[in-house]
Structure formats: structure tokens, C-alpha cells
Structure 1
Amino acid sequence: MIQVIERNNKQTQRLMERAKERIEDFKRLQTAGLICKSGDFFPSVHYPPITMYAPTTEEELFRTYTSPSDGLFDVYVHIPFCRRHCTFCHYPVMLGEQTAEKDHYLQALEKEMDIYMKRLGGDKIRARSILIGGGTPTYLSLAQMRRFLDFFVERVDLSTCKQFNYDVDPVTLIGSEGIERLKMMRSYGVDRVTIGIQSFNESVLKKMGRHHGAKEAIESIRNCQDLGFQVNIEFIFGYWGQTLENWIEVIEEAVSLDTEEIQLYRLKVEAYGDYQGAIKKVREIRPQEIPTVEETLMMKQVAIDILNEHGYYENLRRVFSKKPEHYSHYADNQCCGLLDQIGLGLTAFSSLRDRFVLNTQNMDEYYALIESGKLPLNRGIVRSSEEQMRWAVVLPLKNRRVWKSYFKQITGADLNEVFGEKIKQLKTFGLLFENEEKIELTKLGAFFADEVAQQFHHPDYVPFPQDAYFQGALYPYRSCV
């Protein structure tokens, strides 16, 4: 059993007062135009945003591409199978056992790796870090999982790999088979897992469409800890059926488990991937059961305060850890270091230093392209010099900080000469800190990190329409660049 932390009325009152202060910040910044009128948000994950890429071809995207000078890549593999489709999920997956389909997919994935290696040159991909995600990448039989890991490590040089991550589902890590699966992962070098817990509240878990309860979630965490994994656990806030009270209970349970990392996600109703999650229909039918924007922001602030009380501090955006060395190298390399990363599998992306490549979201097209000897991509961009400068601010600023010397190194431009007015404006609102070496978000700026990062978007890539914002000093369509 996990220990629920007792909190007296005075402590709870202080939490609520602090959370209400964030609502005042929200209203002020919304009036200034930073946040859209509805209070909705759009996750700032890539620039341009991942839903805004035009159709393109492999030839167009790779004609002028050269591998990085050190020959290293961060590697992502997508395995799109799940027991069921969670209500909040915005990505296409195949449901149920699907044994034959999984075998077919693994066969195609192996061929895709060979095509990519031919495109890059060389007999192996030299990995800086690895992330295996989905879907549920552990929702394979033990034999299928071993088959995947065998052909993967044959094609990937692990000698240069600093971290090998898996995004996992709790149910696949429990019982004797779950322990065997974890031992197999360890034997192939996997050292960090992110477990999609999402909640410990049984009622909320059912509304999410999860196929586990709190008991199974805790068992999966303990199994990973016993086998020496670095453990990151994820939670969604602002969800259907959540209240401030039951959310506080969830976070207090989370900190009692002593995992290395705890990650928070705000519920996104509108799709930001290749599939519209069922949560949109839920909001249309039961709008009164979805927490308001104000309640959602209060949930975020009380979670931050509880995490801080127990020694967890934001290390990489949305991820809280007790030690600075505990974070996702894959995410840091891609979003802060802006290093070359390749993606394999359905809907996977490759984020390269001056371009972005997105694989098809259609399984039939995925198979057909691979069978014809082509990479299964269908969207992407080779960034212009202006798009490159914006990209070199948006990702590192949102996630950690922008080093001025590094910005100049990868863009050839001076950060303050290009974005000086915008930086000054954001500092005026208390959202940005600057010194001679860097710019980074203040605590207030970090709370609204997605929206602050979007201040550096070109008007063509602002996530909401012009009339969705108040035309204040931070109106995103009034570019200072």
C-alpha cells in the first residue's frame, strides 16, 4: 500500500491561495494576448507545429541533407499497438492482440531501418540516445519483443548510447511475464522507463479508458525499481472527473513512491497528432464534467508546490526530479541541444538540424512505401533561414534555455539583433530572464511555457486564429521580428 500524506487545513489553504494567484496571472496575460480567449492551449513541441507540415517526398527532404559531423543520432522507434484506445489519446493505434499484424509490422520496421541506413550511409546507426515508444511498445509477446530487440541492436551501435529509454504501460510490467519482459529489456541495455500511470484515482482511470487500476500501476513501478531502472511516471491533469481534491491525493501518492522523475501533462482536447481523441466528444456531451481552465491551472500549480515540497523540481519542462542528472537525454538532445534525431515507424518523425521529416499515419501506405524501397514519409519541411532562427529559440526556450553563443553557432545570427524587441517585451511582463550568456523562462514564464515559446512563431504558424486572442501587447500576430 502507498502512504497518503496527511495535510492539515492550513497547508491546504496555502496551496489553494498560491494556485489562485496563478489564475490572476492567467487573466492578466490573457488580456495581453499571450493566451487565447478560450484559455485552451497548444503544446509547443516542434517548430513549425507538427500538424502544419505540407506533403513532400523523400527526394525533396534528403536531397541536400548530410549526416552530422560526429555521426551520432538520437533514435526513436514507434510501435503502434495497444489493448484499447485511451480517451485522451490523439494518435492512431491498432487494438487488441493482433499477433499476425504485429509480426507484419516488425518485418516492415526492420526493412525501414535498412532503408534509413542506406540513406544515411554506413552499416549501423550510431546512437546518442534511444527512445522506444507507441502505442504500447511493450505490448508485444516476449518472443516478438526479443525479435524486435535483436534486429534493432544489430543495426544500432549502442557503444555510443548514453541512455536507452522505453515508454511503457503498467499492465505489461506486472506478474511473472512482466518481470521477464523487464529483465529482457535490461539485458539489451534499457536503463530508463517512462510509465504512463495518468492517475491513481480509480474513477478517473475508468473515464480515461485505462485497463489498469492503482494497484497494477504501483506494482509496475516497484518492479522497475527492483530491477534498477531510472523511473519516470506520467500524470494527466484537467481531465474529465478530476477535482482539485482528488488530484492533490494523486500527486501526494506519486511523491511517496520515490521515483526519480514525475511528469505532468495538461489534457489536450483538440488533436495535436494524427488522430482526434474521443475526449473531444466527451467534452461536447458532458462539458460540465470537464474541469474549467481555471481549475486546470490550479491543478498544475498545486502539483508543482507539492512536488517542490518533497524535493522534486522542474528539470526539463513538465518533468520534475530530485537530482539534475535524472532526465530524458533523448528529449534534451532533441529539444535543447537541437541535435539530429531519426524516427522509425508509423507517425514517427525525424527532427534534423535544418529540416523535419514526418512518417505517414496510414498503415497501408506505411507498408506500401517500405515494400517499394522508400522511407515511409509523406510530410515535412526544409527550413528557411528565418524558420531556422525561430526553431532555434522555440524548442530550447520552452524546455530549458537559449544559449546566445550556441544560437549564433547554428544560425549565424545574433539572438538580440533578431529577437531583441520580443525579448524586451517578454521581460517587461516578467516571463523571461536574460543575461549576457542566455535567455530563459522565469517561474511565471515556465508556468505558461507553451504560450511564451509561441511568441517567437511566425504569424503563419500561430496555433489559434487571429480573433482567438485579445490584441494586447503580446498579441502573437503583431510580430516584433
Structure 2
Amino acid sequence: MPAPAPNVYAPPEGEPPRAVYLHVPFCQHRCGYCDFTLVARQDDLIPQWLTALGNELQRLDRPYEVDTIFVGGGTPTHLNETQLEEFFQLIRSHFNLSENGEFSIEANPDGLTDSKLTLLQQCGINRISLGVQSFDDDVLQVLERTHRADEAQEVIHQCSEFIPDVSLDLIFGVPDQQLELWQTTLETALSLPISHVSTYGLTFEKGTAFEQRRRAGDLLPVMDDVERNMYAFAIDVIPESGRAHYETSNFAMPGHECRHNMVYWDASEYFGFGPGAARYVNGVRSTNARNVTRWIRDWLENRDSLQDHEVLSADARAREAIYLAMRLVRGLNVPEFETRFNVSLTELVGNEVTHHIEGGMLEVVDGWLRLTREGRFVADSVMIDLV
């Protein structure tokens, strides 16, 4: 008989998490490559979602002070201003943001008005991540985005007047995208008032419209060497603009790294609420139901709505910390790791580390184990070997 699911809302046993993620699962349109937890054109569900979210948040034993709040989606700014105000009130009722804390929200370039940005500013948002994806209209059309390149540039300038930290998401490796188009997109991005940029290679996730079109031969991925060259261009050129490469896909001005995501990469614990949200509390990783209507239905009846959970062993925690740290350009601080997890890195993964050092994929510099430049191009396979 399977063990009962742990109470994932139990009070933290030690130092409580200092980060919280909240998921807003609404969009105007689902892009063909997107496999995130969301519903499109179902705004009638928003009031029920707000009630359900309030019920889930009530499972906390008390309000908590946190250093980072991240609102993701979906498109959180798809909510109208009245709904956003109610949403932020729920957050304020259960979480206090520490002084100089980071309060991030995801947004798309379309639909951001001065009035809505003023509301975000008044509610404490100090970092906005814009899903721009490209500054080429043909690429945007392939990606099924609903904004134009010139609109995105205007919105970036607009956001910078209200919110101190503006970040962009960009996608490379789009079908029919040439290296020159990617170079132009990056050059445009780096000329804008942004403190942070994330670059992601396009993936064809199972169940997405893009994956179905790829199998049908209607949409062909770019060649591996083209995608590699695009990534190489990004990691070479973006740092020249003063935005340092600090994680596999992320670049930031000094002091403007995404502090919330650093919580994940440092293998620290965090709260999570909303459909599809993940959390890590008391050594238990759990994920909420990804089906939005199921999650709403469950929480309207005050029932936990979990997709899965895993109680991590000491060994699993240590291995996961290695895997996550390898995403960071700085890598893993070996002495700190061995103290934190009371384990020898050599005993745990010594053979694998030696193999990849000899192969030129890993290096140790001043006590830090990290990927080499060449290792960055095969990071996933190297990291899998270490876990």
C-alpha cells in the first residue's frame, strides 16, 4: 500500500523558506511551443481561481516574511486591474516582503498600460520579466506571439519608467531563423534599458502544437550546429554589454541577478501556490495539479490538489544540489557543499567528475567545480552524469 502523501502545508520545521512562487494560469492565447500550466480565453474562471488561491494560502499556519516573491504564469498581467488588486491583497495577507526584497512579475508586451504599470508599482513590484522572445516580426509570427517587434521596444521603455528592473526572455533556434536574425535581436535587446536577459533554445515539448507539427513535418527544427552558434554568440556578446553570464540561460548587470531563481539553483527551500506550482518545504518536493479546472474545483472544496510529491533522502538532496549548481557559471563551492551536506564530493561523484575534467567539460578553480566553456554546450548530459 503506498505511503500517504505528506502534509505539504505543514509548518516549516527549521528556518522557513524565504521565497514564494505564485502561479497565474491565464492567457489570451496559448503559443504553439508553450507547455506551461494555463488556460486561454477562459477569463470567466478568474474569480473562482482567486477564491481557490485564497483557500490554498489559508493552509499556511501564519504570515511569513520572505526575501523574494515571483508571480509567474500564464500571463499574470492578463488580469484586469480590479483582479490584480485582489490578487496582491491575498499576497499581502500571507507574506511580508523583507526590506530590499525582490518582487517579480511576468508579463507580455501587449496589454501593459500606464495605468496597469502604475498599479504594479504601487503594489510593490520592482522587477518585471517580459516575454518578448524576438525583435523580428517574422520570427514572432512563427512563434505565434501576439505583439510586434516595435511594440515590444516601446513597452520596454514604458516599463523602465515605472519598474526599476526590466528583464527580457528571448528564444533562439526557431525554425527558419538564421544566425544573423538572432544577432540582430540580441543587438536590439542590448540597446534597450534592461538589467537582465534570459535566452532559451526552442524546445518541442510533448503535447504542444509545435511538437505535433514537427512530427508531421510541418515545422522543422534548426540544425544543431546553427543552434550551437546562436548560443555561442549569446554567451560571447551579451557580457560585453556589462550583463554578466551567471547561469546557463541568464545574464545580468552586477547586482541584478534574479534572486528568486537563485533560490532554486542554490537548492534552497521555497513556497509555491496556484495550479502547477512547485514547492520545496521540509525536504519534500511537491507539485500542484496542472489541470487548472481540477485545481480550482479541489480548492473551492478545500481539498489539497497535488500532482506529485517526493520526500528527498539526504543522498538525493546532495546530488540535486550538485545538479542545480552546475547551471551557475560560478559552479559549486565544494567546501561549502561538503559542510552543508556532510558528504565528500569525491565519494559521491568522484569518478564522474574526474571523467569530465579529463574530457575538458569540467574544471576546478579555487575550490569551485564548474563547467568549462565547452562544457556549457553539453551541460545537460554532464549534469545528468553527476546525479
Between the aligned partners of 1:63 and 1:135, the Cα distance in structure 2 is 24
| 2:159 pairs with 1:159 | no
Contact 1:385 1:411 in 2 (8 A): yes
> Aligned letter for 1:432?
L
Contact 1:339 1:352 in 2 (8 A): no
Q: Identify the residue that residue 139 of structure 1 maps to in structure 2.
A: 78
CA spacing shift, 1:408–1:357, aligned 2, 3 Å: same
Between the aligned partners of 1:390 and 1:74, the Cα distance in structure 2 is 22
| 2:5 pairs with 1:100 | no
- TM-superposed CA distance for 1:289, in Å, is 4.2
Between the aligned partners of 2:12 and 2:152, the Cα distance in structure 1 is 41
Between the aligned partners of 2:250 and 2:194, the Cα distance in structure 1 is 12
Q: Identify the residue that residue 239 of structure 2 maps to in structure 1.
A: 308
- TM-superposed CA distance for 1:290, in Å, is 2.7
Q: Identify the residue that residue 330 of structure 1 maps to in structure 2.
A: 260
* Unaligned stretches of 5+ residues in structure 1: 1-55, 458-481
Between the aligned partners of 2:366 and 2:350, the Cα distance in structure 1 is 13
Q: Identify the residue that residue 170 of structure 1 maps to in structure 2.
A: 109
Aligned-residue identity in percent: 25
Q: Identify the residue that residue 112 of structure 1 maps to in structure 2.
A: 56
* Alpha-carbon RMSD: 2.1
Match of 1:447 among 368, 372, 377: 377
Matches within 5 A, 1:252-331: 252-271=187-206, 276-286=207-217, 289-323=220-254, 325-331=255-261
| 2:254 pairs with 1:345 | no
Q: Identify the residue that residue 306 of structure 2 maps to in structure 1.
A: 377
Deviations 1:35-91 (A, max 9, x none): xxxxxxxxxxxxxxxxxxxxx88x533389661633343100111111111111012
| 2:347 pairs with 1:417 | yes
- TM-superposed CA distance for 1:259, in Å, is 1.2
Q: Identify the residue that residue 21 of structure 2 maps to in structure 1.
A: 76
Match of 1:356 among 285, 308, 313: 285
Contact 2:130 2:166 in 1 (8 A): yes
Between the aligned partners of 1:156 and 1:354, the Cα distance in structure 2 is 21
Match of 1:212 among 143, 147, 151: 147
- TM-superposed CA distance for 1:301, in Å, is 1.1
CA spacing shift, 1:441–1:66, aligned 2, 3 Å: farther
Contact 1:342 1:350 in 2 (8 A): yes
Contact 1:126 1:160 in 2 (8 A): no
SS, match of residue 233 in structure 1: strand
Task: Report the structure number with the largest CA radius of gyration.
Answer: 1
SS, match of residue 190 in structure 1: coil
> Aligned letter for 1:452?
V
> Aligned letter for 1:235?
L
SS, match of residue 76 in structure 2: coil
TM-score normalized with structure 2 length: 0.93
Task: Report the more deviating stretch, 190-199 or 356-365.
Answer: 356-365
Contact 2:156 2:193 in 1 (8 A): no
How many residue pairs match? The answer is 385
SS, match of residue 150 in structure 1: helix
CA spacing shift, 1:255–1:105, aligned 2, 3 Å: same
Task: Report the more deviating stretch, 292-301 or 280-289.
Answer: 280-289
Between the aligned partners of 1:70 and 1:421, the Cα distance in structure 2 is 34
Match of 1:234 among 169, 173, 181: 169
CA spacing shift, 1:435–1:310, aligned 2, 3 Å: closer
Q: Identify the residue that residue 125 of structure 2 maps to in structure 1.
A: 190
Contact 1:398 1:452 in 2 (8 A): no
> Aligned letter for 2:164?
F
CA spacing shift, 1:365–1:243, aligned 2, 3 Å: same
Q: Which has the higher helix share?
A: 1
SS, match of residue 69 in structure 1: coil
- TM-superposed CA distance for 1:353, in Å, is 5.9
SS, match of residue 138 in structure 1: helix
Contact 1:129 1:329 in 2 (8 A): yes
CA spacing shift, 1:278–1:202, aligned 2, 3 Å: same
Deviations 1:333-386 (A, max 9, x none): 1212x2211111111100236221011012332123323433321301001233
Q: Which has the higher contact order (CA 8 A, sep 6+)?
A: 1
Between the aligned partners of 1:185 and 1:383, the Cα distance in structure 2 is 37
SS, match of residue 163 in structure 1: strand
> Aligned letter for 1:442?
T
Task: Report the more deviating stretch, 63-72 or 299-308.
Answer: 63-72
Between the aligned partners of 1:159 and 1:68, the Cα distance in structure 2 is 21
Contact 1:398 1:450 in 2 (8 A): no
Q: Identify the residue that residue 325 of structure 2 maps to in structure 1.
A: 396
Q: Identify the residue that residue 179 of structure 1 maps to in structure 2.
A: 114
Match of 2:64 among 107, 125, 128: 125
Contact 1:231 1:259 in 2 (8 A): yes
Contact 1:80 1:92 in 2 (8 A): yes
Between the aligned partners of 1:380 and 1:239, the Cα distance in structure 2 is 34
> Aligned letter for 2:51?
Q
Between the aligned partners of 1:398 and 1:69, the Cα distance in structure 2 is 27
SS, match of residue 58 in structure 2: helix
> Aligned letter for 1:261?
H
- TM-superposed CA distance for 1:161, in Å, is 6.5
Deviations 1:180-224 (A, max 9, x none): 111111112111111110011111111111110012211211111
Q: Identify the residue that residue 36 of structure 2 maps to in structure 1.
A: 91
